[in-house]
Amino acid sequence: MPTPPTEPTGRPTPAEGRPARRTILAAAAAAVPAAGLLSAQSAAAAPASATPGGAGAGRAADPDLGPNVVVFDPATPDIQAKLDEIFSKQEKAQFGTGRYALFFKPGTYNGLNAQLGFYTAIAGLGLVPDDTTINGDVTVDAGWFDGNATQNFWRSAENLALVPVSGSNRWAVSQAAPFRRMHVRGDLNLAPDGYGWASGGYIADSRIDGKVTPYSQQQWYTRDSSVGGWENAVWNMVFSGVEGAPGDSFPEPPYTTLQTTPVSREKPFLYLDGEEFKVFVPEKRTDARGTTWGSGTPRGTSLPLSEFYVVKEGADAAAINDALGQGLNLLFTPGIYHVDRAIEVTRANTVVLGLGYATLIPDNGVTALKVADVDGVRLAGLLLDAGSTNSETLLEVGPDGASADHAENPITVQDVFIRIGGAGPGKATTSMVINSRHTVVDHTWVWRADHGDGVGWETNRADYGVRVEGDDVLATGLFVEHFNKYDVQWNGERGRTIFYQNEKAYDAPDQAAIQNGDLKGFAAYKVADSVTTHEGWGLGSYCFYNVDPTIRQGHGFAAPNAPGVKFHHLLVVSLGGKGQYDHVINDLGDPTSGEDTVPSKIVQYP
């Protein structure tokens, strides 16, 4: 185990000798029940809380957004005490049941340090981040886990301006922890105190006036933002549409930089229009660069809460589908929702927005969420947690054979996370299936759990992470880990991926368990042999076969040898020598070897 640098001067050692990120460490704390905290608003009016289509006034003083939505304004007393109370419940509750959304009305707040634990989302309620300024910090650190940030999952910050007390805000996260629409008037530190391990992460539509200092972060993706500088890189730092990003320089330093993002559309968000709550739905951009809000009011559409069914714990799939059938959008309040049939989104331009990591659990092997082959559906801010009975799929975007052209108004899947096991036994043959053309998957972590409850090679069996059948699909910020077979299987034409992070399943019992015909193991990212056009930038796969360290993984990536199939900046890494890769892609690239945790890289394929 290396000794991390003790001072933030210069570039840290690139993870040499780094052992596995998570499973070699103890699992996090036991489940914590929801706190039953009252919202800062009156519950006098409950828009669409019981009867689909029912609507309250939607004003700041009266909507009922559930017991675990807390709204502050600058005059709210004891804000810090309330923040500390929630953090004390959520700091170690990795697989707990608490879910929280913390909202700050426009204005200025002084002297706050909002520490974020699991399943906690913090956001401003202005139309742009600078409407809501915190003279203080929004902090994620890893004291709960002895300075190791590799399990700092499921938390988010959005739509705030921060003036950090020390000049630098600490955001030491790993997967499923987006940093969106933020303005940091200072530096942003992505490492935990003490420079322990971290394995994030994602930034979008944000401005950091100072430097971003990743230090020990193994990989990171930043999209459509502005930074004052970037300090270093370990394995895989990817940028698209980022003003101030370092130049493209892979393999050393390992920066992958695209000047623009081909297609992007920011995540919908809750905000206050005067005293009325609304949901802002940003418009699509092509060849995007920089933030959506830097030149003033962002472009998009505002929807009143009267057009939403506000879903609260206890609502079932029948009621939710009834609301969708009446033409309403969905706003899931923080909570856990068991569904005994699929939630079916059939209307074009429907918004399905979750607050505070609202969690859907399918019962009896059903698919949790299905989207028809229609234009412009927005799925955002949800956690899909597999049930104990195997589901064939958890999320289906478009039915089998979907073929409609959605180029002008694509379906978007943003901050939608999937988990198989960890909180208890869960199974799903395929986690996410994308059938609809032109879908944009913008930041997802699809995870077969490698620690927690209900974890084992067959206990939380999940063969495939993401399967793409539709043509012209774009993935920006794709994290998929630990599946029994292919983590990503891409069958559609003209697919594109900007940034991919993967770990092969740690718990394979032996070589025979992962054998794929004549091949040693299933690729982390497989492009079908029939595909003629595909492109990817900044993709990495890691292995840590701790049950049987003699396992050989034939390659991290597999793709046809076709002129239109191109990859830029690929790497594979053996973590501490627990298993090895023979090649990077197909039969190309040097094998990994020894215990040095040094990547094998390919700059271009072919």
Q: Single out the catalytic residue among 158, 344, 503, 535.
A: 503
Give the HSE-up count for residue 191: Cα atoms under 13 Å, Cβ half-sphere: 23
Taking only Cα atoms into account, the Rg of the chain, rounded to an integer number of angstroms, comes to: 22
Compute the distance between CA of residue 205 and CA of residue 194 in angstroms, rounded to an integer: 29
- Other CB atoms within 10 A of residue 51 CB: 13
| Average pLDDT of the segment spanning 399-427 | 98
pLDDT per residue as tens digits for the range 175-207: 999 999 999 999 999 999 999 999 989 999 999
Q: Please give the average per-residue pLDDT across 340-346, as a whole number.
A: 98
Q: Tell me which of 43-57, 329-343, 389-403, 445-459 is least confident.
A: 43-57
503 is catalytic: yes
With beta carbons less than 8 A apart as the criterion, state whether 136 and 167 touch: no
Tally Cβ neighbours within 10 Å of residue 249: 14
Using DSSP, state whether 536 is helix, strand or coil: strand
- Assess whether pLDDT exceeds 50 at residue 50: no
pLDDT cut 90: percent of the chain above it: 89
Q: Which of 599, 510, 499, 570 is nearest to 241 (CA)?
A: 499
What is the rounded distance in angstroms from the CA atom of residue 550 to the CA atom of residue 342? 42
SS3 (DSSP) at 486: coil
CA nearest 331: which of 352, 313, 302, 345?
352
Find, among 224, 231, 185, 240, the residue nearest to 208 by Cα. Answer: 185
At 62 the pLDDT is 62
Q: Residue 20: pLDDT above 90? A: no
Q: What is the pLDDT of residue 296?
A: 80
Instruction: Average the pLDDT over 508-525 and give the result.
Output: 97
Task: Tell me the pLDDT tens digit for each residue of 486-511.
Answer: 999 999 999 999 999 999 999 999 99
Nearest residue to 190 (alpha-carbon basis) of 166, 173, 208: 173
Over residues 275-298, mean pLDDT: 95
> Over 70: is that where the pLDDT of 52 sits?
no
Is the separation of the CB atoms in 485 and 517 below 8 Å? no
SS3 call for 280: strand
Q: How far is 81 from 486, CA to CA, in rounded Å?
A: 46
Q: Any bridge partners for residue 243, and if so which? A: 226
Residue type, 68: N
pTM of the model as a whole: 0.91
The whole-number pLDDT of residue 61 equals 52
Question: Contact, 292 vs 264, CB < 8 A?
Answer: no
Burial of 10 from C-beta contacts in 10 A (0-12 / 13-18 / 19+): exposed
